[in-house]
Amino acid sequence: MLITIDDVLTTEELAEARTLLAEAEWVSGKVTAGIQAATVKNNLQIPEESPHLFRLRQLVLGALNRNAMFFTAALPLKILPPFFNRYGGDSNHYGFHTDNAMRGMPDGSGYVRADVSATLFFSEPEDYDGGLLTVDDTFGRHGLKLKAGSMVVYPSSSIHEVSPVTRGERIACFMFMQSMVRDAGQRRMLYDLDMALLDLREEIGETEPVVRMTGIYHNLLRRWADS
């Protein structure tokens, strides 16, 4: 399942983030890539020791926390602190790769199993050429280039790439998270059920069958979720 969520960041948050991103120092992105991924990764990232990283992460995680659509799609248990990357000039692409399943927390406090990935865009699509995020999975091959402040959420098990940026710069944030529901098929069913219930509630109100179906949603979540 791949979903896009518009306007994850407010206009003010986006403006603040873009100021920080313009001031930040950037280093080679190979530092967070696995062995296979490092061979095809050629972009820049904000290093862990950057003084700008704390506020940038706070902005992104705060926005995720209040986003109901993100919650129901990802059912996040643990989120690895977001990373910020830049594509342009000579460091302009990231070939097809798969992300490592287990990611160490930057502070050494343990591991996060990457079940769900997300990319949040900071550059407007018209400000660069190329830089298409292509996600290839059993649901097909999707090419994405979203407006600034919008996000795509997809399974970490997919193969994906960012094609070369041939004009301008593409700045984005990428995230890995461990879901309360490990299995992508179960997550998909819970998402579909939750979305259908939302529509039903709007169309016919909180009728008794709707209440019973809501109970089924929570009973499935109880059966499948870990905390």
| Binding residues vs Ni ion (CB under 5 A) | 99
Q: Which is nearer to Ni ion, 3 or 210 (CB)?
A: 3
Q: What is the DSSP letter of 29?
A: G
Structure tokens at 89: 């000039």
172: left (phi over 0), alpha (psi -120 to 50) or beta: beta
Q: Return the residue nearest Ni ion (CB atom).
A: 99
**Shortest distance in whole angstroms from residue 11 CB to Ni ion:** 28
Q: Which is nearer to Ni ion, 38 or 220 (CB)?
A: 38
**Shortest distance in whole angstroms from residue 4 CB to Ni ion:** 17
Q: Which is nearer to Ni ion, 16 or 161 (CB)?
A: 161
Inter-CA distances, 178 with 37, 129, 193, Å: 20, 32, 21
Inter-CA distances, 138 with 15, 102, 156, Å: 36, 22, 13
Q: Do residues 204 and 177 lie in contact, with contact meaning Cβ atoms separated by under 8 Å?
A: no
**Shortest distance in whole angstroms from residue 95 CB to Ni ion:** 10
Q: Which is nearer to Ni ion, 99 or 115 (CB)?
A: 99
Q: How far apart are CA 130 and CA 157, in angstroms?
A: 24
**Shortest distance in whole angstroms from residue 160 CB to Ni ion:** 6
